[in-house]
Amino acid sequence: MNTIEKPIVEFMNVNYSADGLHILKDISGSFPEGKITTLVGPSGAGKSTLFRLCNGLSSPSSGELQLKGKSIHEYDPISLRKNVGVALQSATMIKGTVLDNLELPLTLQGQKIALTKAEELLQDVGLDESFLYRNAQDLSGGQRQKLSIARTLVNKPKILLLDEVTSSLDRVSQHDIEELIVKINKKYATTIIWITHNLDQALKIGHYTWVMMEGEVIETGEVSILHHPKNERVQQFVKGELE
């Protein structure tokens, strides 16, 4: 992160343990506001666990985690959900139409979505407004992922957490989603934190990267560090020698 950038998510000596296992080890660092940071590392490195701390699904065992300069403990669940949107690889839909799914974040708050808003959100993610009354179960994988991302935008989140959102998609849909995320980042200045196994994708769309291994953050910096990592294990990882 360069000096003029403001941190929006800050980890200060964060540890997380579960079932007697020390899973996240003394994590310190920040995600800059309005930028795309990718989170990479081998399987089991702790990436998804770190995400669950950012959206309040788990709490640090020790240390401090701040969002917008305020401890995550001070956010109530609704304001946390409004600030932090999440899209997952599975892009799970409820039974019903595209509109029902788009409206879900508001339904949970006892509200309805304005039709013009729903149309605008579909337009944002490149789905035609004629999709609104289609059965969500009938969408293709790529369309479902676009809808899942549109759904996170309903609350205008400041931060969007993406966990392997393109891993089960074909190349064309993968490319569409990458373009879409870059567009959202530019249009709404949304901070994006993106877990990906795909290093080419990290290099293509990210401004910054965190490399995690065995519960630790090993290297961070501009995404170009992936071309010439300093750490020997990270060098092995980028060469594909670690799973």
Residues that bind ligand ATP (CB under 6 A): 18-19, 21, 23, 41, 43-49
**How near is the Cβ of 170 to ligand ATP at its closest, in Å?**
21
**How near is the Cβ of 19 to ligand ATP at its closest, in Å?**
4
**How near is the Cβ of 118 to ligand ATP at its closest, in Å?**
32
Nearer to ligand ATP, 49 or 152 (CB): 49
Pairing assessment for the beta strands 21-32 and 7-18 based on DSSP bridges:
antiparallel
Nearer to ligand ATP, 76 or 243 (CB): 243
- Identify the residue whose tokens are 């407004």: 129
**How near is the Cβ of 22 to ligand ATP at its closest, in Å?**
9
Nearer to ligand ATP, 44 or 221 (CB): 44
**How near is the Cβ of 39 to ligand ATP at its closest, in Å?**
8
**How near is the Cβ of 24 to ligand ATP at its closest, in Å?**
8
Nearer to ligand ATP, 18 or 114 (CB): 18
Measured distance CA(99)–CA(129) in Å, rounded? 10
- Cα dist from 32 to 15, 29, 152, 212, 221, whole Å: 21, 10, 20, 18, 11
Q: Which helix (H) or strand (E) holds 22?
A: strand 21-32
Q: What sign does the dihedral 128-131-132-133 (CA atoms) show?
A: positive
- Residue 200: CB partners within 8 Å, gap ≥ 6? none
Report the DSSP beta bridge partners of residue 12. 64
Nearer to ligand ATP, 21 or 172 (CB): 21
Residue 188 Cα to chain centre, angstroms = 15
* Widest Cα–Cα separation across the chain: 53
Nearer to ligand ATP, 46 or 105 (CB): 46
- What is the total residue count of the chain? 243
